[in-house]
Amino acid sequence: MHQHDGKFEILSKRVMAPGTTRLEVKAPRVARKARAGQFVMVRVDERGERIPLTIAERHPDKGTIAIVFQALGFSTRQMADLEVGQSFKDVLGPLGQPTDVRRCGRVVCVAGGLGIAFMYPEIVAFAEAGNDITSILGARSKDLLFYVEEIEALSTHVHIATDDGSLGHHGLVTEILAGLLEKGEHFDYCIATGPIPMMRAAVELTKRYDLPTLVSLDPIMVDGTGMCGACRVTVGGEVKFACVDGPDFDGRLVDFDELANRKRAFVEEEERCRLEETADRLEKEREAEQSGDATSR
Amino acid sequence: MAEETTTNRKAKREPRNPLPRRPPKERANDFAEVALGFDVKAALAEARRCLQCKRPTCIEGCPVGIDIPGFIKAVEEERFEDAVSVLKDRNNLPGICGRVCPQETQCEKACVLGKRQEPVAIGALERFVADWERDNIESRPQPNQGHDAPKVAVIGSGPGGLTAAADLARCGYRVTIFESLHAPGGVLRYGIPPFRLPRDILDREVDYVKSLGVQIETNVLVGKTLTLQELMEEEGYEAVFIATGAGLPWFLGIPGENLSGVYSANEFLTRINLMQAYRFPQYRTPIRVGKKTVVIGGGNTAMDSARCALRMGSQSAILYRRTRAEMPARAEEAENALAEGVELRELTVPVRVLGDEKGRVRALQCQRAKLGEPDASGRRRPLPIEGSEFDVEADTVVIAVSQSPNPLLPSTEPRLELGKDGRLIVNPETNETSIPGVFAGGDIANDAGTVIAAMGDGKVAARAIDQHLRKKHGLGPSPH
Ligand SMILES: Cc1cc2nc3c(=O)[nH]c(=O)nc-3n(C[C@H](O)[C@H](O)[C@H](O)COP(=O)(O)OP(=O)(O)OC[C@H]3O[C@@H](n4cnc5c(N)ncnc54)[C@H](O)[C@@H]3O)c2cc1C
Ligand SMILES: Cc1cc2nc3c(=O)[nH]c(=O)nc-3n(C[C@H](O)[C@H](O)[C@H](O)COP(=O)(O)OP(=O)(O)OC[C@H]3O[C@@H](n4cnc5c(N)ncnc54)[C@H](O)[C@@H]3O)c2cc1C
Ligand code: SF4
Ligand code: SF4
Ligand code: FES
């Protein structure tokens, strides 16, 4: 089913955390142009959805980019099954506006869960620009954290929070942020990436301290080039297309309620696709068993 | 004029042969083609209706100037292969044009027969010839480029880009089309549904363009993946044709428009046509179409959206602020839509989208309108009637009011001069933009908004590019 024409070949694969996979993909043109904050649209095969994914790493010398994703639904699970040597059918990018990376002084980077994949390239870019980085990383449990060593190497301080208390603060990343701000730590800029409630909580907090805060939005997308409007978000009362005007926006201006609502648009269909997939797999396994060469997947 | 036509022809007064279509009840349930096309008998009969005018006005009505009486004569004499050659001399994509051209405002409008009775069914004949070729002639690769021929880049693989690329390849240039989506065709692929333009027809026409030696590189968004400047300065393209279309969807700017269940027509059609959501979950892109779909608009896009909604099992209504007489849609498609059961609510202006407690659409609040004086487009302006508000129940809303030129590429190249409407300004003779060697056409540069106008631009630009490059390389005038 997967193509082997080598165009968007997978050159390395690493499981970053249970359910979270990093793939390094050959895409020289994308690698050359990509900047922090940008993303690609990928398709696994001829029947696949177009899936937006942050460009977590770029390696222009090798002509590769890396993407990190959580196997949530059908497409991301299908991607998690790809192996080195197989190829994506399509990779389009880099898309979206690059983050406006400036030297602003002390930057606090708050990332929850998969938000760490969005955050890592930002930290790389803001550190390269000469900023002092404080990182606050969170996940449900310590096993689910990733890029921690890389981020430690780029940050002056790293704080960890886990929902189950298995590492660092037992609680939310925003609680750590609140603590730092209350203590009177001064930051010049904040970046918050992660689930909507987390970004919303971060912004509510930083508003009180007049701390400019960048968030990275992940609305539903179809083309990723400004042609469909599926990704529209309201920012400062204006309708923006996240794929061309974003995906980074000033968090203080984002209408998170609307975003959360629009992201739920296809929940039932996603569920159906997943059920279908399960049925498919069972069917395949049964066939394989019958033909006597059952291989467990 | 009739006086100028050959008079020794029989059977002039026979009525026009209708294009056979599948019954509305049957076709409204699937995505297979609605029109069936002429059989040989009907084609011959229709070809005989043509007067073979000495001064064929029909040709002036065709933006690419097909020798219409020429190809019809070949059909009449059952020289179908010759008919193919006549068509392909001017039109690289006849199977598409025969299906989607608004003939009633173009070639057929200009047909002299139309003055006394019904015009010759030129579109249906064109389609017949193209389909005959598909069924009877095996296409062979016929590249014509030397290894060191100049390179030309075409940006966008809609009808404008495909046409320019084909013509340039025939002139011997090495042509690459860069397309941002994963499949070529532009609106032909993502907008026009398969029941109007079956995908095997589109694929076949694209393959024909490739057979001339044209390379198509998908997944390249010029402006992001590569810039125009890099194409010319680093990748060695000596001329560029921009045909990036009018892909920017308009919204109405009314409250509630971002509720879930409200789509732009582009999103709705892209999910269904490009991503094949009508085959979900075998194809993985979902779409949610409820029980009551309301489409806002009156053009081809609105018709296509409404007919797709029907086929997805929904009731389907079109809200249009003027009346049917002013609808810009191709007449045949409006007729097809209504026959299939799409409801048309004329003189209705939406003012607000109403949602339920879950943030999903439940209705559209509308106002009634009456027609006033004609506006700039020459159509009578709709005037909303105060106090006439009423609700139209809807769980899916598709906004199909208009599109404007795709701003992405121009926004990354400040040297490209833009008009007020966001269109690239081009020299009308050559389609050259403000950057020498860079040409543009189709919906990014003109407001005709038809497949054939985009193709016409592609032809003009290809000729101008050929001249530009001949001059640059000190070659003589083109033999073409
Ligand atoms: C600009 C941008 C960058 C992104 N970068 C990354 C990335 O680097 N890594 C990554 O894993 N994901 C990223 N995403 C999100 C990713 O595109 C979706 O998770 C993916 O489309 C899900 O596809 P699926 O078919 O596997 O799941 P689906 O079947 O579509 O969904 C599975 C489950 O995930 C939920 N879901 C769907 N979409 C999202 C979403 N956008 N965010 C969170 N949950 C969602 C659904 O509600 C459902 O419960 C990004 C999104 C955008 C817009
Ligand atoms: C739903 C619908 C129905 C229609 N029905 C009819 C009809 O029946 N008859 C008719 O005559 N006309 C019809 N039209 C209008 C007609 O389709 C368009 O006028 C025509 O397709 C314009 O052709 P084009 O070559 O300018 O570009 P398009 O067909 O718009 O193609 C542009 C292509 O460029 C690509 N692109 C854009 N930007 C970039 C970039 N930066 N880099 C690379 N690629 C890029 C796009 O992805 C797209 O594939 C319809 C339009 C729509 C939307
Ligand atoms: S290309 Fe279109 S306008 Fe020209 S003859 Fe054919 S149908 Fe008519
Ligand atoms: S198509 Fe009409 S105008 Fe053209 S030659 Fe025939 S009769 Fe005359
Ligand atoms: S994803 Fe289509 S416009 Fe943004």
Q: Is pLDDT larger for residue A268 or for residue B156? A: B156
Give the SS3 label for residue B209: helix
Q: Is pLDDT larger for residue A144 or for residue A270? A: A144
CATH H-level superfamily of B249-403 = FAD/NAD(P)-binding domain (3.50.50.60)
pLDDT of residue A291: 60
Side chain identity, residue B299: G
Q: B224–A33: do the CB atoms touch at under 8 Å?
A: yes
Nearest chain B Cα to A233, which residue?
B258
∠ CA B264-B265-B267 to the nearest 5 degrees?
Answer: 65
Residue B84 pLDDT greater than 90, yes or no = yes
The answer to pTM > 0.95 is no
Of B267, B284, B408, the CB nearest to A228: B267
Task: Decide if B151-247+405-473 and B249-403 have a common fold.
Answer: yes
- Which residues are CB-contacts of B187 (< 8 A; sequence separation ≥ 6)? B158, B159, B245, B451
- Give dist(CA B405, CA B416) in Å, integer: 14
- Which residues are CB-contacts of A280 (< 8 A; sequence separation ≥ 6)? none
**Which of B144, B143, B149, B146 shows the shortest CA–CA distance to B473?**
B149
Show residues of chain B in contact with A48, CB under 8 Å: 284
Side chain identity, residue B5: T
Average pLDDT over residues A74-95: 94
8 A C-beta contact, residue B461 and residue B455? no
Residue B157 tokens, joined: 């693989």
DSSP of A94-162: EESPPP-----SEEEEEEETTHHHHHHHHHHHHHHTT-EEEEEEEESSGGG--SHHHHHHH-SEEEEEE
pLDDT of residue B378: 82
pLDDT of residue A286: 62
pLDDT band at B261 (very low <50, low <70, confident <90, very high): very high
Q: What residues flank ligand 4, with Cβ below 6 Å?
A: B 50-53, 56-58, 68-69, 111-113, 120, 122
User: Dihedral sign, CA of B86, B92, B96, B102?
Assistant: negative
User: Which atom of ligand 3 is the closest one to the Cα of B98?
Assistant: 7
Which residue's CA is the closest to the ligand 4 atom numbered 8? B53
- Give dist(CA A26, CA B361) in Å, integer: 42
Residue B214 tokens, joined: 């044209």
Residue B19 tokens, joined: 């294009």
Residue A274 pLDDT greater than 70, yes or no = no
Residue B336 gets the label, from left (phi > 0), alpha (psi -120 to 50) or beta, of alpha
Give the domain ranges of chain A.
8-95, 106-263
Q: Is pLDDT larger for residue A2 or for residue B138? A: B138
Q: A232–B259: do the CB atoms touch at under 8 Å?
A: no
User: Strands, E, within B212-296: which ranges?
Assistant: 215-217, 237-242, 248-249, 262-264, 292-296
Q: From the CA of B309, how many Å to the nearest CA of chain A?
A: 17
> Buried b / exposed e across B238-258, counting CB within 10 Å, b at 16+?
bbbbbbbbbbbbbebeeebbb
What's the full length of chain A, in residues?
A: 297
8 A C-beta contact, residue A27 and residue B224? no
- Give dist(CA B216, CA B186) in Å, integer: 13
**CATH 1.10.240.10 for domain A106-263:** no
Give the SS3 label for residue B14: coil
Residue B80 pLDDT greater than 90, yes or no = yes
Nearest chain B Cα to A50, which residue?
B285
Q: Using DSSP bridges, classify how beta strands B361-374 and B348-355 pair: parallel, antiparallel or unpaired.
A: antiparallel
- Give dist(CA B15, CA B150) in Å, integer: 51
Number of H helices, E strands in chain B: 17, 16
Q: Is pLDDT larger for residue A281 or for residue A19? A: A19
Cα(B127) to ligand 3 centroid in Å equals 10
Show residues of chain B in contact with A91, CB under 8 Å: 219
Average pLDDT over residues B271-280: 92
CA atoms within 13 A on the CB side of B234: 7
Q: Which CATH class is domain B2-136?
A: mainly alpha
8 A C-beta contact, residue B309 and residue B293? yes
Q: B270–A223: do the CB atoms touch at under 8 Å?
A: yes
Q: Which of A20, A23, A58, A218 to mutate to test the pocket of ligand 1 (most atoms within 8 A of CB)?
A: A218
Cα(A232) to ligand 5 centroid in Å equals 7
Q: Using DSSP bridges, classify how beta strands A51-54 and A39-43 pair: parallel, antiparallel or unpaired.
A: antiparallel
Cα(B245) to ligand 1 centroid in Å equals 29
pLDDT band at B313 (very low <50, low <70, confident <90, very high): very high
Peptide bond into A247 cis (omega under 30): yes
- Give dist(CA B329, CA B331) in Å, integer: 6
**Which of B240, B215, B180 shows the shortest CA–CA distance to A29?**
B180
8 A C-beta contact, residue B157 and residue B179? yes
Summarize pLDDT for A107-132 with one digit per residue, the tens.
999 999 999 999 999 999 999 999 99
Residue B359 tokens, joined: 């943030």
Summarize pLDDT for B117-176 with one digit per residue, the tens.
899 999 999 999 999 999 998 877 788 888 889 999 999 999 999 999 999 999 999 999
Residue B416 tokens, joined: 């490209």
Give the domain ranges of chain B.
2-136, 151-247+405-473, 249-403
Of B249, B280, B408, the CB nearest to A228: B249
Residue B133 tokens, joined: 């070729």
Residue A1 pLDDT greater than 50, yes or no = no
8 A C-beta contact, residue B443 and residue B458? no
pLDDT of residue A293: 45
- Which residues are CB-contacts of B337 (< 8 A; sequence separation ≥ 6)? B303, B306, B307, B318, B329
8 A C-beta contact, residue A227 and residue B406? yes
Residue B420 pLDDT greater than 90, yes or no = no
8 A C-beta contact, residue A139 and residue A171? no
Where is A175: in which H helix or E strand? helix A173-182
pLDDT of residue B3: 43
- Give dist(CA A48, CA A92) in Å, integer: 14
**CATH 2.40.30.10 for domain A8-95:** yes
CA distances from B155 to A38, B114, B161, B228 (A): 22, 39, 7, 9
Residue A278 pLDDT greater than 80, yes or no = no
Output the CATH code of domain B151-247+405-473: 3.50.50.60
Question: Cβ-count burial of B432 within 10 angstroms (0-12 exposed, 13-18 middle, 19+ buried)?
Answer: buried
Where is A284: in which H helix or E strand? helix A267-290
Substitution target in A33, A51, A92, A233 with the highest count of B β-carbons within 10 Å is A92
Neighbour count for residue A152 (Cβ, 10 Å): 13
- Which residues are CB-contacts of B69 (< 8 A; sequence separation ≥ 6)? B50, B52, B53, B56, B58, B59
pLDDT of residue A277: 66
Summarize pLDDT for B161-185 with one digit per residue, the tens.
999 999 999 999 999 999 999 999 9
Residue B6 pLDDT greater than 60, yes or no = no
- Residues of chain A in Cβ contact (below 8 Å) with chain B: 29-30, 33, 43, 47-50, 74-75, 89-95, 222-223, 225-230, 232, 234, 239, 244, 258, 261-262, 264-266, 268-270, 272-273, 276
- Which residues are CB-contacts of B247 (< 8 A; sequence separation ≥ 6)? A225, A226, A227, B266, B403, B406
DSSP state of B127: H
* 3-state helix vs strand vs coil in chain B, percent to 5: 35, 20, 45
8 A C-beta contact, residue B322 and residue B301? no
Q: What residues flank ligand 2, with Cβ below 6 Å?
A: B 100-102, 155-161, 178-181, 186-187, 191-192, 220-223, 243-245, 247, 269, 300-301, 304, 330, 406, 408-409, 442-444, 449-452, 454
DSSP state of A82: -
